[in-house]
Structure 1
Amino acid sequence: MRHIIAAFLAAALGVTGAACGSPSGPAGSPGATVGTAQDGPAQAPAAPALRVVATTPLVGDVVRVVGGDRVELTVLVPAGTDPHGFEPAPRDAAAIAAADAVFMNGLGIDDYLVPLVTGSGGGARVVVLSDGITPIRLPEGGGHGEAEGTGDDHADEAHPGEGAAPDPHVWWDPANVIVWADAVEQTLAELDPAGAGTYAASAGAYRDELRTLDAWIEAQVATVPMDRRVLVTDHQVMGYFAARYGLAQVGAIVPGYSTLAEPSAGEVAALEDAVRRLGVPAIFVGQTVGPGLAQRVADDTGTRLVFVHAESLGAPGGPAATYVDMMRFNVAAIAGALAAAP
């Protein structure tokens, strides 16, 4: 994919008005724009103060909430798409070239877009939202080992290790999304001082909403018996969720942070042994990945699959169209599956 970025840049930078002149669409759709203030039926729409690009729908949702009508937002990765395998199009380079700011998740999940951003020829400020977060890293030996316990027994997973790849799925802890919101507010206010008060008000209300979400998640997890607070996923995606709410991520179909890797036969066998030994109630699979291998493990072990929105928002108007809605959907599914009678 990277070898075609230069060609994308050449094609895209020759297109006039391609970045932000496209028709408005839902956040998370290709080339989507969000937020045009209306002054009244007899007046033309006021131009947004800033043109902003977000790499993923989750990042875009935070920018949308904080920026409101003062930003024209383009989200590169469509909603419902696996961000690990996304390939940019020429229109993406054009959007970046015309942008005032580009917001990225960071920690590897969207780093393949860095050449597109740095080579666009524009003057956008690039903000990696997860730079202010201490990342979780895979424990030695990957993710198929038996659980060391629940509650505080797994708290050491939240500390960075030496030489291990960082976990980019920081949004599974709402406290990390508060860090994102802070960075978005600061950046937008610096680029658009006239809107600083609006951004501060929006970010403050959003922080309150995220704290409410955090408390609700704690209450949902509390309904799960301690010995059933174990997570097996399609890949290592719920580490921050496990660390924040006292669960143990005991294994994954793919023992890594990307859905693009493939497990060995030995790794699959070890995972199935752990699932049987620990009495794992469910295997959680993201909506953006094929469930084939996970279904095989579930069939072999008598465990059921439960689908969640692990790495992307759902369709506009659906039950996971925003970050807060997505987390409520996911946590209800997780807590329900883990608490259900065997």
Structure 2
Amino acid sequence: MRMSLNVSQKLGVAVLATLSVLTGCGDRSVSPTDGDRLDVVSTSTIITDWVDRVGGEAIEHQGILDPGADPHVYEPVPQDSIALENADVIFYNGYNLEPGLIKLIEGVGTGAEKVPVGEVVKPLDFEYRGQTEPDPHVWGDVENVVVMVEEIRAVLVERDPDNADTYTENATALAEELQRLDLWIERQIATIPENQRKLITTHDAFQYYASAYGLDVVGTLIGISTEEQPSAQTVQQLVENVKETGVPAIFAETTINPQLISTVAEEAGVALAEPELYSDSIGAVGSEGDSYIKMMVSNTCSIANALGGECTPFETE
């Protein structure tokens, strides 16, 4: 079991991480004009959720991706360029999660603050075509999210100091809820029999989650990016892997067509867990995963229940 930090300790770590990123960057304070709100744009739905929670009504906020959209393969449209050009602050994940949008963001010529919030976290790595790359799915470990939320707060405060109290209060409330979520996930996964704490998913998006909460990712249909297309040989190899590991269930994901992973489950003679896992996007409004916290709760219950454990309700307060 990993040692969990309390909220004050985590916020302290987050502040230090943020200061290390900001050191040497100069004064970023550019308050919006009187009567105007800070114009903020975010990329993935997960980051959009955090920015909504921290910024609240004090900012004018637009998220580019819709719930269920896959940031790995998203192709920007002209309206995205307009939103980015007009922004005061742009929050994106980084580590090449959203390559199409990152290329567009890098080309934005205005004075917008471009903030790769995922890159304040020291990444886990993966091997791809003989090279080591950072895994972009940093939000799988809730402790990382506390650090990213602090970065969002710090940027908003520097750009809009008049609303500093609002941003700080909102970020603190979110951090406290994240602390409870972190401990809750650890307890749910601990109910799974040790020999069944093995995760097989459609794509390799759960390394941080598995590392943080005591699971092993023993197989995936495709790698980090959903742009990859598995061969028939890859599918058959995963079928054999599922049989060898003896897992009772494997997992589909909401942003990826489940047809191939369903075939793997059928041929291996195991269950395809329900509900599907939220990987790169939160769910549609009204779904079980329509916020970051709710998607993590849904994922954890799906994993715990399917692998022989139990899931108790998560209390938000």
TM-score range, shorter chain: 0.7 to 0.9
| Per-residue CA distance 1:299-340 (angstroms, 9 max, x = gap) | 110112121111111111222111001111111111010116
**Residue in 2 aligned with 1:40?**
none
CA distance in 2, matches of 1:47, 1:332: 45
| Structure 2: runs of 5 or more not aligned | 1-33, 311-317
The aligned amino acid for 1:249 is V
2:163 is the alignment partner of 1:137: no
Q: Is the 8 A contact 1:58 1:323 kept in 2?
A: yes
Residue in structure 1 matched with residue 164 of structure 2 by the alignment: 196
| Deviation (angstroms), 1:196 | 1.0
Instruction: Give distance in 2, aligned partners of 1:91 and 1:284.
Output: 35
Please give the secondary structure, in 2, of the residue aligned with 1:333: helix
Match of 1:319 in 2: 288
CA contact (8 A) 2:74 2:100 kept: no
Aligned partners of 1:193, 1:225: CA distance in 2, in Å?
50
Q: Which residue number corresponds to residue 103 of structure 1?
A: 91
The answer as to whether partners of 1:94 and 1:120 remain within 8 angstroms in 2 is: no
Question: 1:302 matched to which residue of 2?
Answer: 269
Partner of 1:149: none
Does the CA contact (< 8 Å) of 1:48 and 1:70 recur in 2? no
Which segments of 5 or more consecutive residues in structure 1 lack a partner in the other structure?
1-45, 143-161
Cα separation, 1, equivalents of 2:57 and 2:171: 14
TM-score, structure 2 normalization: 0.83
Q: Deviations over 1:236-286 (max 9, x none)?
A: 0110011001110000011x1011101233322222111101111211111
Do residues 257 (structure 1) and 245 (structure 2) align? no
Distance 1:231 1:297 in 2: 14
Deviation at 1:90, TM superposition (A): 0.8
Per the alignment, residue 41 of structure 2 pairs with 53
Larger Rg: 1
- Alignment match, 1:180: 148
Is 1:277 paired with 2:283? Answer: no
Structure-2 residue corresponding to 1:16 = none
* C-alpha separation in 1, matches of 2:107 and 2:245: 49
Instruction: Give the match's secondary structure for 2:102.
Output: helix
Deviations 1:59-94 (A, max 9, x none): 001111111111111111111111111111111111
Corresponding residue for 2:3?
none
Q: Who is 1:165 aligned against?
A: 133
CA distance in 1: counterparts of 2:165 and 2:69, whole angstroms? 34
**Number of equivalences:** 275
1:290 aligns with: 257
Give 1:167 deviation, angstroms: 1.2
Specify which of 229, 232, 253 is matched with residue 197 of structure 2.
229
Over 3 Å counting, the alpha-carbon distance change for 1:270 and 1:121 in structure 2 is: same
CA contact (8 A) 1:170 1:176 kept: yes
Give me the whole-angstrom Cα distance separating, in 1, the residues matched to 2:233 and 2:124. 25
Q: CA deviation at 1:48?
A: 5.2
In the TM superposition, what is the alpha-carbon distance from 1:121 to its structure 2 partner?
3.1
**Secondary structure of the residue that 2:148 maps to in structure 1?**
helix
Give the superposition deviation at 1:289: 0.8
Query: Secondary structure in 1 aligned to 2:132?
Result: coil
| 1:218–1:245 contact (8 Å) kept in structure 2 | yes
Which amino acid letter does the alignment assign opposite residue 238 of structure 1?
F
User: Contact 1:56/1:104 (CA < 8 Å) preserved in 2?
Assistant: yes
Given residue 221 of structure 2, which amino acid in structure 1 is its aligned partner?
I
CA 1:308–1:91: 2 relative to 1, 3 Å: same
SS in 2 for 1:285: coil
* Residue of structure 2 equivalent to 1:10: none
Residue 257 of structure 1 aligns with an amino acid whose one-letter code is I
> Deviations for 1:17-55, whole angstroms, at most 9, x for unmatched residues?
xxxxxxxxxxxxxxxxxxxxxxxxxxxxx9552010000
Q: 1:48 to 1:285 in 2, by over 3 A?
A: farther
